Amino acid sequence: MDCWICDSHDLILRRASEVRVDELDSRSFAVTDDHYGRVGAIYACQSCGFLQCPSLGDVLPHYQELVDTDYEAGRDSRALQARRLLQELAPWKTSGRLLDVGAGSGILVEEARRLGFEAEGIEPSRWFQEQARARGLPVHLGTLPHPSVTGGFDVVALVDVIEHVPNPRALLAQAVACLALGGIVVVVTPDVSSLAAKALGPRWWHYRVAHIGYFNRQTLTRALGSAGLSPLSFQRPSWYFPASYLAQRVGRYLPPVRPLARLAGPWLERVVVPLNLRDSWFVVAKKQGHAAS
């Protein structure tokens, strides 16, 4: 077994598996899955520190079959989140061609088009892709490389994607291959070295079956470098959730909150809460030797 980031053979078991591979199905990989702390076996690289979960086998079929109606129900708050991420790109890009990899139902694509980008996406889940197409959004079914996705993009976005794949360096290299001269790659991923991750330990909300790679700033920088990318900016993104959604999630840690959340449900659904727990990275990167323009 090799490290997915540095190719070292020196990996040790950090955490035993809490799942059986033969019991997993697409529901285990839903964006809105709330079984926090439930993971496959996690191995730590003794050379670079990367944490990876190689024991789940080929996870792509689960994403291809994925249906997540709860995700789509929160579209409005997720659209606000996408808009804010795009606005953070203003120092580098405010228009041009944009590709969203792992586009889901096209929320970021839709917001990017509203802000003036010529945006499209690619998504492995047929159900998610159909939701996007029903809204008239150009989201292709599949993964990179894809015959309908040609190069020359000013922005390639990987928002909460690289932690889901067993080949993060290859995915980053494919993103680079899609860039136009002066283009940028945007990566958002959880930070396993964050204070929240350390405080919550094995119950951290980003420890879940669907996350099979766990980055910190050092391993993320190394992965970017292996794909020929240099970081321009590291930021802590904010997320936007309906208060009802947050109350349900808090209930996973504090069970007494659950009945209160149900009672206040209709009111909580109308309230959107910005949240920044500083446990994710939002990185803008450019090709090494090229200026972002």
Domain locations in the chain?
A: 11-238+276-287, 240-275
Which amino acid does the sequence have at 48?
A: C
Which amino acid does the sequence have at 81?
A: Q
Mean pLDDT by runs of 10 across the 293 residues of the chain is 98 96 94 91 98 96 96 91 97 98 99 99 99 98 96 97 98 98 98 97 96 99 98 95 68 60 60 88 93 78
Cβ burial of 166 (10 Å; 0-12, 13-18, 19+) is middle
| Amino acid 293: pLDDT | 74
- Indicate the CATH number of 11-238+276-287 among 1.10.3720.10, 3.40.50.150, 3.40.470.10, 3.40.50.880: 3.40.50.150
User: In 3-state terms, what secondary structure has residue 30?
Assistant: coil
Look at the pTM and tell me if it is higher than 0.85: yes
Cβ proximity of 273 and 241 under 8 Å: yes
Q: For residue 145, is the peptide bond before it cis, meaning its omega torsion is within 30 degrees of 0?
A: yes
Cβ proximity of 150 and 140 under 8 Å: no
Count how many residues are written for the chain: 293
Q: Of 293, 287, 145, nearest to 224 (Cα)?
A: 287
R_g of the chain, CA atoms, integer Å: 19
Q: pLDDT (tens digit, 9 = 90+) per residue, 154-207?
A: 999 999 999 999 999 999 999 999 999 999 999 999 999 999 999 999 999 999
Instruction: Specify the long-range contacts of residues 113-120, CB closer than 8 Å, at least 24 apart.
Output: 113/137, 114/83, 115/83, 115/86, 115/87, 117/86, 117/93, 117/155, 120/149
